[in-house]
Amino acid sequence: MSTQSEHPTLLIPGPIEFDDAVLQSMSHYSESHVGPAFVSVFGDVLSDLRKLFQSTDDSAQPFVISGSGTLGWDLVGANLIESGEAALVLGTGYFSDGFADALRVYGADVTELKAPVGSRPQLPEIEAALKAKKYKLLTVTHVDTSTGVLSELRNLSELVHSVSPETLVIVDGVCSVACEEIAFDDWKLDGVVTASQKAIGVPAGLSISFFSGRAIKAIESRKTPPATYYASMMRWLPIMRNYEAKKPSYFATPSPQLIHALHTSLTQILSVPLSERFAKHREASDKIKAAITKMGLNQVASNPDDQAHGMTAIYLPETIQIAQILPSLSKKNIVFAGGIHKEIATKYIRFGHMGVSILEPERGHIERALQSLEEGLAEFGYQKA
Amino acid sequence: MSTQSEHPTLLIPGPIEFDDAVLQSMSHYSESHVGPAFVSVFGDVLSDLRKLFQSTDDSAQPFVISGSGTLGWDLVGANLIESGEAALVLGTGYFSDGFADALRVYGADVTELKAPVGSRPQLPEIEAALKAKKYKLLTVTHVDTSTGVLSELRNLSELVHSVSPETLVIVDGVCSVACEEIAFDDWKLDGVVTASQKAIGVPAGLSISFFSGRAIKAIESRKTPPATYYASMMRWLPIMRNYEAKKPSYFATPSPQLIHALHTSLTQILSVPLSERFAKHREASDKIKAAITKMGLNQVASNPDDQAHGMTAIYLPETIQIAQILPSLSKKNIVFAGGIHKEIATKYIRFGHMGVSILEPERGHIERALQSLEEGLAEFGYQKA
């Protein structure tokens, strides 16, 4: 049974199109948040998240908390850093700026290492920054949803561990988890914060995060208590441990329906090797980017090595406005997003390609989107130079 | 079409049983959080909340934010009080203690005026407390879900306005909004925080709150910025105003599915006069309490005037354990909750009676619950004294 009536195809960088079974789980009958059936499902979700993050380190800890993805920034700011401690934020766009703002709210002494629009800070400058000052943590936005710039994590983390081993490596994975590879243990990451509505494929409403044993220890050895109640990881930690041990536990009421939907989606995700999932996103992305280039369009992420595989940020031809192309696409039942990076917001559009739109090519989402884009541009007189 | 398969009847004080149409809305197809269709629905939800709170004061402001009900405490603690300012918390049980804890996390100087278990602080002692010290705000837990004690708001607010007019009157309405009357403007309240999964009848995952123009002004005139990013009301205020004006706006991604479910439920709630809804909850509650008394059982809320109308906390006979009666009820497909107030947790059970279980008596939930309770007690040898 399909729960989805005819509707425009949503190809923005989140929320994405959802699988029918996931949406069906959203209407699960009401259950007690401390009853054995629900506790078991929540426990399985937490165990499944360990697999999604390719982690077998028992000291690492998944958290699933009701909230927007943004809440992940508060988890980091309120728990992992104390007032006056230094944070190095790798600047890639709107979302790294947001992370920096959130850390400042909690009193962090933030240094933003900003790259030009469409690129990312390079290892030599990061090395120099790490040598110039002692940082409690470094944050990297794995995919900056404002630019489609993909940051490399493995060599970055190796650099941090070599130059400043006490610095925690924190990843904003909102637009990367479940479509870009993240080997949490192997890459020695300390934290990844993400949300449900992107490649994880579940309606918005869940802040999902994963922290290393080292990060948990950093919280446990704070000199001052965290200045938050709801986002206090020490309050959630025993709850998450109990749920995973299938014991009822209460701090704040979780959303059984969203947890059921997450359970359905994670079961689907883990039913095929993760490497296959990442490869499919990569292949589809390569084709999309080739088609965009063939149309004579440029990407905001200028270096092919720095391009995300779950979204593409595309500069419009100078003769065409966002207010022309988005409504034109909409008439063709394709929904793209406008720009959000303040320096270039009016000049580009964003195309999300994650989850079922990639894994079920028979839906035809990507072909229709590319064709609609080409037709839409032609409607307004654009011809490839 | 029913989205609900056979399932145990959930009669805990939240989450409650949900209407089919509300659950169906949870599986709404994916939409852009800034697209016109969703923005319009979110705008209607905010306007409907004004009606639910019986407010026509344009300076008052509804907020709907992804999160558990607990997040409402952070909204108050992080925004309405500054470090070192004083708060008077009326102590009625587990949930007023939680509110006090949350305020302390944000640096409030908290005085808890605690009543004995099963009762609430009385006006003369509240008056004395207000005269003894200047409080930035007073909090009252309208229905303390740990005891089923109902606090009176109208005379309380009148007292505060008369004795200490600058003190903000803040209500924890998690277990009262949409089953107990709240006349926000008439009673001169400054804030009500609640959640989706109780009498509002929507799956958990939304923090819903309503603040007076005076409360908003108090935030705007803070001497220090709020020590929170996600729970910052100043960050959410323009977003909520834009949504209500049906203009797209972004701070953090809301949950379209939960907002659709809230829209469906509020439309149902507002389709009959609120007075009728409250009267039905009151009548049903009176019958339930009479039946409990007839069984020879006592309530935790000892004074009939202080008894909530959406739940009943019931002392077990001394010879019967929670570990006997809850499984016995469960076998009869009735789910009640155990105790949560730490002083009496093992001695009582909680019966939630809100929403469709009351408004659609043809479901037979209440009759089956009372009959199952009586039979369950008899199974373990209980006879009315």
CATH code at position A233: 3.40.640.10
Q: Note whether A176 and A199 are within 8 A (CB).
A: yes
Chain A's closest residue to B25, CA to CA, is A27
CA distance linking residue B357 with residue B365, whole number of Å: 6
Scored b (16 or more CB within 10 A) or e, A78-108 reads bbbbbeebbbbbbbbbbbbbbbbbbbbbbbb
If asked whether residues A284 and A261 sit together in one domain, one would say no
If asked whether residues B108 and B235 sit together in one domain, one would say yes
Last residue of a domain, which of A269, A292, A316? A269
B109, containing H or E segment: strand B109-114
Half-sphere exposure of B377 (CA within 13 A, CB side): 21
Pick from B57, B50, B16, B42: nearest CA to B209 = B50
Q: A299-354, pLDDT tens digit by residue? A: 999 999 999 999 999 999 999 999 999 999 999 999 999 999 999 999 999 999 99
**CA B212 to each of CA A122, A340, B55: distance values in angstroms, whole numbers, following the listed order:** 49, 32, 10
If asked whether residues B265 and B284 sit together in one domain, one would say no
Last residue of a domain, which of A246, A269, A292? A269
Whether residue B1 lies inside any domain: the answer is: no
Percentage of chain B with pLDDT > 70?
99
If asked whether residues B257 and B278 sit together in one domain, one would say no
- pLDDT the model gives residue B332: 97
If asked whether residues A277 and A265 sit together in one domain, one would say no
Mean pLDDT for the stretch of residues A33-40? 97
Window 302-341 of A: residues touching B by CB (8 A cutoff) are 335, 337, 340
Angle ∠(B87,B90,B94) on CA atoms, nearest 5: 110
Last residue of a domain, which of B235, B250, B269? B269
If asked whether residues B46 and B187 sit together in one domain, one would say yes
If asked whether residues A152 and A289 sit together in one domain, one would say no
If asked whether residues B250 and B337 sit together in one domain, one would say no
CATH no. for residue A316? 3.90.1150.10
- pLDDT the model gives residue B1: 38
Whether residue B28 lies inside any domain: the answer is: yes
If asked whether residues B262 and B322 sit together in one domain, one would say no
Total domains in chain B come to 2
Residues of chain B with pLDDT under 50: 1-2
Which of A4, A32, A102 is facing B29, going by the closest CB pair?
A: A4
Q: Do A105 and B14 touch (CB under 8 A)?
A: no
Which of B27, B68, B250 is facing A253, going by the closest CB pair?
A: B68
Residues of B in contact with A69 (CB under 8 A): 252-253
Question: Which residue in the block uniquely carries the two structure tokens 């907002």?
Answer: B259
Q: A113-172, pLDDT tens digit by residue? A: 999 999 999 999 999 999 999 999 999 999 999 999 999 999 999 999 999 999 999 999
Whether residue B337 lies inside any domain: the answer is: yes
CA distance linking residue B222 with residue B82, whole number of Å: 7
Note whether B231 contacts A: Cβ–Cβ < 8 A.
Answer: yes
Structure-token pair, residue A21: 């079974």
Which of B78, B107, B253 is facing A69, going by the closest CB pair?
A: B253
Environment class of A186 (CB within 10 Å of its CB; exposed 0-12, middle 13-18, buried 19+): exposed
Whether residue A78 lies inside any domain: the answer is: yes
Whether residue A248 lies inside any domain: the answer is: yes
Q: B147-164, pLDDT tens digit by residue? A: 999 999 999 999 999 999
Whether residue B219 lies inside any domain: the answer is: yes
- pLDDT the model gives residue B3: 53
If asked whether residues B114 and B184 sit together in one domain, one would say yes
What lies within 8 Å, CB to CB, of A160 at 6+ separation is A126, A130, A138, A167, A169
If asked whether residues B297 and B256 sit together in one domain, one would say no
Supply the ipTM of this predicted assembly.
0.97
- pLDDT the model gives residue A3: 54
Angle ∠(B293,B352,B319) on CA atoms, nearest 5: 50
- pLDDT the model gives residue A2: 46
Q: Do A30 and B16 touch (CB under 8 A)?
A: yes
The domain of A70 spans: 20-269
- pLDDT the model gives residue B282: 98
- pLDDT the model gives residue A222: 98
* pLDDT, greater one: A277 or A1: A277
Percentage of chain A with pLDDT > 90?
98
Q: A45-88, pLDDT tens digit by residue? A: 999 999 999 999 999 999 999 999 999 999 999 999 999 999 99
Note whether B348 contacts A: Cβ–Cβ < 8 A.
Answer: no
Whether residue B4 lies inside any domain: the answer is: no
Strands A137-141 and A168-172: parallel
Window 280-299 of B: residues touching A by CB (8 A cutoff) are none
Residues forming beta bridges with residue B66, ordered by sequence position: B206
Q: Do B70 and A27 touch (CB under 8 A)?
A: no
Whether residue B356 lies inside any domain: the answer is: yes
Q: Note whether B373 and B294 are within 8 A (CB).
A: no
Mean pLDDT for the stretch of residues A274-291? 98
Residue A15: cis peptide before it, omega within 30 degrees of 0: yes
CA distance linking residue B220 with residue B345, whole number of Å: 41
CA B190, B195, B199, B200 dihedral sign is positive
Structure-token pair, residue B253: 């991604």
Q: Do B32 and A26 touch (CB under 8 A)?
A: no
Mean pLDDT value across chain A:
97
Which of A30, A102, A335 is facing B32, going by the closest CB pair?
A: A335
Angle ∠(B311,B118,B359) on CA atoms, nearest 5: 10
Pick from A98, A271, A251, A240: nearest CA to A175 = A98
If asked whether residues A249 and A318 sit together in one domain, one would say no
Angle ∠(A68,A69,A75) on CA atoms, nearest 5: 100
CA distance linking residue A355 with residue A368, whole number of Å: 16
Q: Note whether B357 and B363 are within 8 A (CB).
A: yes
